[in-house]
Structure 1
Amino acid sequence: MTYFSVRWKPDKAARRLSVATAALLPGEDVWYLGGCNNRTPLMNEIAVTPLRVVGLLEREIRYEARYWGIRSMTFNENKGTLDIVGNNGHSMTFKQIPAHDVGAIEHYARHGQNTPAPPELVAALNAADATLVAATKRMEAARNIDWPHTIMRGQPSRKASEAILRQCHQDEHPWLILTSGNAGTLVAFEDRLAIIKTGGMTGFMAGTLGGERSATFHYVDITGIEYNSGFVTGVLEVLTPSYQGTANKDYWRGSNRSRNSDSNDPWTLSNTLPLSKFEFNSYLTDIDELRRRIGSAKQVRVQLAPPTPAGLTEQLASLAQLHRSGALTDEEFTAAKTRLLG
């Protein structure tokens, strides 16, 4: 059973518990849940569980102190604070805790310190830690573009690098990353490609300021890679049955209108990448390789069954006919018949 802040009514307490539970491990009970007010890091709730003291911001854990990693806890009812110092020397102060809640928090936190943690929760926590470490390593690799077998054309932004990582399956790496200034990034894998538009000016031009626009196209579904240009600028377009190249995707089309107001604006479309002629010519070898891979993926491979050999009787009769006609010597006839009879 959860002890809630004295300031919360039952309806609010039930809602906040549902949100907090989503941030915790499956089966991790909440002994106490109430409000706090921290700016660094930003937190508005404090939860006490059998494993730890947690600072929350909605469904996100912003701080945690596991009982076996706590050196000291200091509770101040008058100030409405909880000071936690870890074994590593790092400290955290929860602020503006309701005075009447401080005693409850201390009761449950001390109980957690003096009670062995449930083994199944410790195992789940260790597994979550391992997953987080692996994800962090992959994220750092993406941010640093530490993929030695990937062809890099242009430098994707940090947000674009993170978006590329989200396109990867497990330990998969793209073979091509092609970035077009502030227009977006094309990333190609063995069986598919994606066009990603995110981060800063790219997101603004794509009509997704602060967000992301990305689309994935499997090679078998692509009908063509088209490039249309003017004197200096151009647009690379991925054609599929759903995205036809029937309308003019001019580089400047829609640039003088609000974002997403023109259905043929290449900056906002999911299947287009504005690309200058200079960039296109610089990337042409890689684009041709991409076209080749798409073509190979679309080839239908038919395996023909070998012809059925003639019956043994017919083959022996043919050999005998050749022998009688003099086409085969006695030795050749005997050798051929032996091969047929095994």
Structure 2
Amino acid sequence: MQIAPSVKRRTADKWVEALAGHLYPGEIAWAVASTSAMYPPCDGLVITNARLLAFTGRDVGATGPKSGVDADNIHRFDFTVYGSAKTLVVTTRSGQQMSFGSIGDEDMPFVGHYLHHLSAAGFPAGMRAAADAQRAEAQTRSDAERRAAEERAETARREAEERAEAQRQDVQQRAHEKQQKAQRRDEERAAAAEQKDRERQAAEAEQERIEGRRGQVEVFGPRVTKAAWRYLEQHSHADEWPWFVVVSDSMGGVLAAFEDRLMIVKTGGYTSFMAGSFGGGRVTTFPYTDITNIEFNGAIVNGVLEILTPSYQGSAQHDFWRGANKSRNKAADDPFTLSNCLPLGKALYKRALPRLNELLRKIADSKRPNIVVQVPTQPQSGGGGLAEEIRRLADLHAEGVLDVDEFATAKRAAIRKYS
């Protein structure tokens, strides 16, 4: 093997060793030179006893020659000048021109000598069959590799399509789930809004009903507080409501009259504080049958309405200012504290007096005993009894006073009377 001046021995040996696996059986390297080709990229030339080969030195062992031409196919070769470089161009017998890259001036005589020798000697006759077999095997291997590559590419394409389809379906599924979730959320919101609207309407209807019931109650004095209404509603049956209400004009509580009882409610901030139950309330019920009297102790402007029962005998004078210098629960004569007393102005008392008088009559009626006297029916003596009664009815029927139905009804009544 001869080496061109531009190639080092170590490099040439390395190239030839790497290229050995790609040579035909019986093919040997004659000469090694360097080149510089762009398409395809090559940096080395080998002239064997059968062909001219160009390759890339760093991967020649793996990829083999990049281009080549057999000795029998070389029609001519030239060193064509392109700019400052001279390129080796081989013209094949079919007229195709193949470029093998730029050759240095010092290597051109070397390369030209061995190319003349190669084209003159031609392709070795005994190597043709082996070369064809190797090319066929290489072609078969190349075809197999190509098919394998195509199969891998097809498999990769199908897998990519499957992944893309799976991703698309996953995106659609997530979008569908998101849409369903949004739809459920909208439905839940709509249901919640509808439920809230129904509750609001029910609350408004209930409030309207309550306001309607409250509006039917005759009220004397200031406005009844919500807390007082709530206590009255809690202590009322479903089919009853106060007859009238008297509200203390001194924030001392509320008196409510029902058909069978009285209630005094002391609730609210100031009222409960004055009653000795700050933050809570006092509710006292007086059945009419237990009330002995209703007493009003009045001064010039203010007074106290007192409900007298066996438990509250009115043994002390409960005027408006009594017990004011004592603690709330120790003022035994303080009308703001006592459960049977309602501080009340005289003017308000006078306005409510007609209803209070009616209340006294109801209290009196509740104490009046109910006596049932049963009088047995006795036959009339000396009057002929049943026969005389029927004869008298018959005369009335004959005179036309009683028709047939009336006579029959009266007759049955007479029989029941005397039986």
TM-score bracket for this pair, using the shorter chain length: 0.5 to 0.7
Match of 2:257 among 162, 170, 188: 188
Q: Does 1:147 align with 2:261?
A: no
Q: Where do residues 32-71 of structure 1 align in structure 2 (5 Å cutoff)?
A: 71=185
Cα distance in structure 1, aligned partners of 2:348 and 2:389: 69
Q: 1:332 to 1:241 in 2, by over 3 A?
A: closer
1:335 maps to which residue? Answer: 392
The match for 1:285 is 354
Give 1:312-327 correspondences, 5 Å limit.
314-316=381-383
* Cα pair distance change 1:274/1:145, threshold 3 Å: farther
Q: Distance in 2 between matches of 1:204 and 1:332?
A: 77
User: Which position in structure 1 is the counterpart of 2:302?
Assistant: 233
Tell me the SS of whatever aligns to 1:235.
Answer: strand
Q: 1:333 to 1:189 in 2, by over 3 A?
A: closer
SS at match of 1:335: helix
Q: Residues of 2 paired with 1:131 and 1:192: CA distance?
A: 35
Q: Residues 1-342 of structure 1 correspond to what in structure 2 (within 5 A)?
A: 71=185, 87=189, 141-142=209-210, 144=211, 146-154=213-221, 155-181=223-249, 182-306=251-375, 308-311=376-379, 314-316=381-383, 335=392
Give the Cα separation in 2 of the matches to 1:145 and 1:204. Answer: 31
- Tell me how far 1:160 sits from its aligned partner: 1.1
Structure 1 distance, partners of 2:206, 2:366, is 28
Rounded Cα–Cα distance in structure 2 between residues aligned with 1:165 and 1:333:
61
**How far apart in 1 are the matches of 2:200 and 2:191?**
23
Task: Give the 3-state SS of the residue equivalent to 1:254 in structure 2.
Answer: coil
Give the structure with the higher percent helix: 2
State the one-letter code of the partner of 2:258. Answer: F
1:93-130 Cα shifts (integer Å, max 9, x gaps): xxxxxxxxxxxxxxxxxxxxxxxxxxxxxxxxx9xxx9
RMSD (Å), alpha carbons? 4.1
SS at match of 2:328: coil
Q: Secondary structure at the match of 1:173?
A: coil
Whether the 8 Å CA contact 1:183–1:205 is kept in 2: the answer is: yes
Distance 1:86 1:207, change over 3 A: farther
Aligned residues: 215
What secondary structure, in the 3-state scheme, does the structure 2 residue paired with 1:225 have? strand
Q: Structure 1: how far apart are the matches of 2:201 and 2:368?
A: 41
Q: Percent identity?
A: 39
Aligned-partner SS, 2:296 = strand
| Distance of aligned partners of 1:277 and 1:336 in 2 relative to their CA distance in 1, 3 Å threshold | same
* 1:222 positional shift: 1.1
Distance 1:284 1:219 in 2: 18
Task: Tell me the CA shift for residue 137 of structure 1.
Answer: 5.6
CA contact (8 A) 2:304 2:335 kept: yes
Distance 1:220 1:229, change over 3 A: same
Whether contact under 8 Å (2:303, 2:344) holds in the other structure is yes
Distance 1:201 1:153 in 2: 20
Aligned twin of 2:102? none
Matching residue of 2:399: none
**Aligned pair in 2 of structure 1 residues 87, 334: CA closer, same or farther (>3 Å)?**
closer
For the residues of structure 2 that align with 1:169 and 1:131, how far apart are their CA atoms? Answer: 24
Sort the Cα spacing of 1:214 and 1:149 in 2 relative to 1 into closer, same or farther, 3 A. same
> Residues 223 and 138 from structure 1, CA distance in 2 versus in 1: closer, same or farther, beyond 3 angstroms?
farther
Question: Structure 2 counterpart of 1:232, which letter?
Answer: V
- Is the Cα contact below 8 Å between 1:184 and 1:197 reproduced in 2? yes
Structure 1 unaligned residues grouped into runs of 5+: 1-69, 73-84, 91-125, 320-330
Structure 2 CA distance, aligned partners of 1:178 and 1:139? 22
| Closer, same or farther: CA 291–145 of 1 in aligned 2, 3 Å | farther
- Aligned equivalents of 2:313 and 2:301: distance in 1? 24
Q: Aligned partners of 1:317 and 1:332: how far apart in 2? A: 7
Q: Check conservation: 1:180, 1:275, Cα contact below 8 A.
A: yes
Alignment partner of 1:195: what SS? strand
Q: CA deviation at 1:148?
A: 4.0
**What SS does structure 1 have at the residue aligned with 2:331?**
coil
Q: What amino acid sits opposite 1:153 in the alignment?
A: F
Q: 1:157 to 1:318 in 2, by over 3 A?
A: closer
> Mind listing any 5+ residue stretches in structure 2 that lack a counterpart?
1-183, 396-410
